[in-house]
Amino acid sequence: MVKNIKLIAVVFLVIVSFFILLKGLNKTNNYSPNLNSSNIDFNFKAKFLYSNEETTLYELINDKDFSLINIWASWCLPCRDEHPYLLNLNSLGKLNIIGINYKDSEVNAKKFIKELGNPYSKIVVDPSGVNSIELGAYGVPETILINNTSKTILKKYIGPLDDKKLAELKMIIKNEN
Amino acid sequence: MKIKILVLTIFYLIGSFNLSYAANSEKVDQISKNLRCLICQGQSVYDSQSDFALSMKILIQNKIDEGKNDEQIYDFLKSKYGEWIVYDPEINKNTVLLWVLPLILFVFGGILILRKVSIK
């Protein structure tokens, strides 16, 4: 009887661990953060790309209903791919698109904008990457949609924009209005 | 005599500056060892040379210079990146098993050993 209990226990344990591991196989390994946490520090200080003045996020966002913060760099290839989407969004006229130039040289950043067009109403630089960390960003490219009146994050995308994300952004803007 | 004092003072200043600087960067190391580099799996911020980790170290240094203590820095980063960024998970609904299981196993093992010993 005792032997039986031991056998059953072992079989049971094996089965349980099998299913736990099986479940683990299907689970994605990458940690996906809580993207909609509305924690954002508006006292963030940064310098403009085209002038030497310092500004805060408060001053940057108070134009229109929504702000779109886009973190980019000239050395970042996906940023090149997503640039047409930003230009497209800018043509809507409802968004105040703020560019944060991440760990870039001034010359290259300006060249990038000259070459591909400027969807941004304002561009600030983040040479050390500290401002991006303060925004809770992971790297480039990253896009954050902010409601200017309620000062909350509506949506955050890690990685380049694409057709799907563009449609989603447009939907959110439409519904919120 | 005056020169001697001057030279000594300068040395003293250099020395104390170095000391405080070293203490500070040690602190950065200490804090960054407890932080998970979120874009490079399996590495701490201290180990990683990614852009993210490098910026993070600068940020930690800035926060220390502002006079923030460890706890405040961890809380700040947690508020930005969530619980996952620290290697030391807090006890909550999702992690309770993680904290309690070793204790249960320890007690269970202890009981087993005791029983074995007392039977003999």
B25 shares its domain with B70: yes
The number of domains in chain B is 2
B52 shares its domain with B111: no
B109 shares its domain with B57: no
Chain A residue numbers with beta carbons less than 8 Å from the beta carbon of B81 are 33, 136
ipTM associated with this complex? 0.72
Whether B41 and chain A come into contact, CB under 8 Å, resolves to yes
Tens of pLDDT, residues A72-100: 999 999 999 999 999 999 988 888 899 99
B81 shares its domain with B58: yes
Of B51, B80, B82, the CB nearest to A129: B51
Contacts of residue A31, Cβ cutoff 8 Å, sequence gap at least 6: B38, B84
pTM attached to this predicted model: 0.73
B42 shares its domain with B98: no
Chain A residue numbers with beta carbons less than 8 Å from the beta carbon of B115 are none
As given in the structure block, the two tokens for residue A67 are: 């702000």
Per CATH, is A45-176 categorized as 3.40.50.720? no
Return the HEC string of chain B: CHHHHHHHHHHHHHHHHHHHHHHHHHHHHHHHHCEECCCCCCCECCCCCCHHHHHHHHHHHHHHHCCCCHHHHHHHHHHHHCHHHECCCCCCCCCHHHHHHHHHHHHHHHHHHHHHHHHC
B74 shares its domain with B98: no
Dihedral sign (CA A118, B52, B37, B89): negative
Q: Which domain holds residue B117?
A: 90-120
B38 shares its domain with B96: no
B95 shares its domain with B83: no
Q: Is the pLDDT of residue A47 over 90?
A: no
B119 shares its domain with B62: no
B69 shares its domain with B21: yes
B95 shares its domain with B57: no
B48 shares its domain with B38: yes
What number is the average pLDDT over the span A41-64?
A: 82
CB contact under 8 A, B84 and A103: no
Q: How much is the pLDDT for B99? A: 84
Specify the CATH number for the domain of residue B36: 1.10.8.640
Q: How confident is the model at residue A35 (pLDDT cuts 50, 70, 90)?
A: low
Instruction: Look at residue A67 and give its three-state secondary structure.
Output: strand
pLDDT tens for chain B, residues 1 to 120: 788 888 888 888 877 767 666 667 788 898 889 898 888 878 899 999 888 899 999 999 999 999 989 899 998 888 888 888 888 777 777 778 888 899 999 999 999 999 988 877
Q: How confident is the model at residue A37 (pLDDT cuts 50, 70, 90)?
A: low
What number is the average pLDDT over the span A37-45?
A: 71
Q: In this structure, how many other beta carbons lie within 10 angstroms of the beta carbon of residue B9?
A: 10
